[in-house]
Amino acid sequence: MHDLLNRTGPYLHAPDDVSRLSFETGGTPRVFTLLIAAATESRRADRSVGGIVILDEDEGAVVLDRHLVAEPERQDAEFYRIRGMGWPEFSAFCRSHERFRSRAFDLVDPHDRPLPGSRRRQAALPAPVPLAVRAGELRSDLMIRSRTAPDGTPLFPRTDRSQAIEELTASPLSAGPHGLLMMSWPIRFPELADLSGLQGGRAVDRALDPAWSELIGQRPELIEEARLEALMPVLDGPTHPAGSEQEGRFGLLLCPQGRPELLLSTMDERPISVPDRKALRSLLSGMPDRTIRDLWGLKRSLDHETSPDRLELRFGEALNRIRSALELARDPEPSPAGP
């Protein structure tokens, strides 16, 4: 998946939702990290908290957090506003915040300029993360660097907010369990798929080709098992690209009856179901840029992963694993010399 959550301290955030702030001191600059947290993590990700966070890299401490946690639609603009502050405005903003808890002298008491920073602590910091949200550019830095499709086209072409909303609004829609429409991706395995069980990296006994052909004809459930296994990377990959950090981010439903398809039911535990396209456009228009970006990225990823070519490739690999496992599990033939 295109948008893995990074961790800075206990805060989980998108790769481009972080910026290094540096203030001149006349000596070693004073350095802070500004980020928009999607969640905090102790033993598990907690999406009920987040918001804008400021970390003091010279003191190794949290200055404040949970800023605008209840107003995600304002966080992008506020992020850039804080980035543009000079020292007097920045330090006054921090001191006045209800979540301010720094003990640094130059933050606790007003100073015209900050005290020198810590060379030792700054030397241990990772390289600054470049911001990827630029004018007319919605993609994250990770999306921009992402691989291209087999035909050479980028999986995430340059787009802006309005273009992404148009593309999302035009997505296929299907009725979900409660009758409301959800974004959907049809699952179409090739009708004339290769059933040889050879299309993968596992060794099989070619002398058993006739026996395998007979078995696959007698047990169509093996084909269904391979199809389901071929879908697991689609269900697990985009939904949980960073393990527990992304757990529950996207709720995908697999509807196997009739014409199989994937339905997007929720994002960040919020329903993504509407009565019609007009309502979908209205829902999207009220989302902050980062949510639109991530939803557009999911759509692009699933468009690629549910393409017939990708499904055929994974189906062949799954059938190869099934055949190999069955051959390994079969009873060995008795030795001519007896036991």
- Read out DSSP for 109-137? S--SSPPP--HHHHHTSPPPPPP--BTTB
Cβ atoms < 10 Å from Cβ of 159? 20
Q: Are the beta carbons of 288 and 294 closer than 8 angstroms?
A: no
**Alpha-carbon span 105 to 122, nearest angstrom:** 18
According to the model, what pLDDT value does residue 256 have? 67
Structure tokens that stand for 153 in this block: 């086209």
According to the model, what pLDDT value does residue 104 have? 96
List, for residues 156-202, the tens digit of each pLDDT value: 888 888 999 999 999 999 998 888 999 999 988 877 788 898 988 88
Residue 53: name the closest of 15, 18, 81, 88 by CA.
Answer: 18
- Give me the residue spans of the domains in the chain: 6-123, 141-329
Q: Is the pLDDT of residue 129 over 80?
A: no
Over the Cα atoms of the chain, what is R_g?
A: 26
The C-alpha angle with vertex 223 and arms to 200 and 258, in degrees rounded to 5, equals 130
Residue carrying structure tokens 């070519």: 309
Mean pLDDT, rounded, for 85-96: 94
Q: Are the beta carbons of 123 and 91 closer than 8 angstroms?
A: no
**Alpha-carbon span 107 to 90, nearest angstrom:** 9
According to the model, what pLDDT value does residue 235 have? 73
Structure tokens that stand for 156 in this block: 């995430």
Q: Per this entry, what is the length of the chain? A: 339
The per-residue b/e assignment along 111-140, b for 16 or more CB within 10 angstroms, e otherwise, is beebeebbeeebeeeeeebebbbeeeebbb
Confidence of residue 136 (pLDDT cuts 50, 70, 90): low
Please name every residue paired with 56 in a beta bridge, in sequence order, or none if there are none: 32, 61
Residue 145, CA atoms < 13 Å, CB-side half-sphere: 8
Please name every residue paired with 30 in a beta bridge, in sequence order, or none if there are none: 23
Cβ atoms < 10 Å from Cβ of 184? 20
Cα–Cα separations (whole angstroms), residue 293 to 16, 125, 260, 271, 296: 12, 28, 27, 17, 5
List, for residues 198-255, the tens digit of each pLDDT value: 988 888 889 889 999 999 889 989 998 998 888 887 776 544 333 333 445 788 888 8
Mean pLDDT, rounded, for 99-113: 95
Q: Are strands 181-186 and 273-274 parallel, antiparallel or unpaired?
A: antiparallel
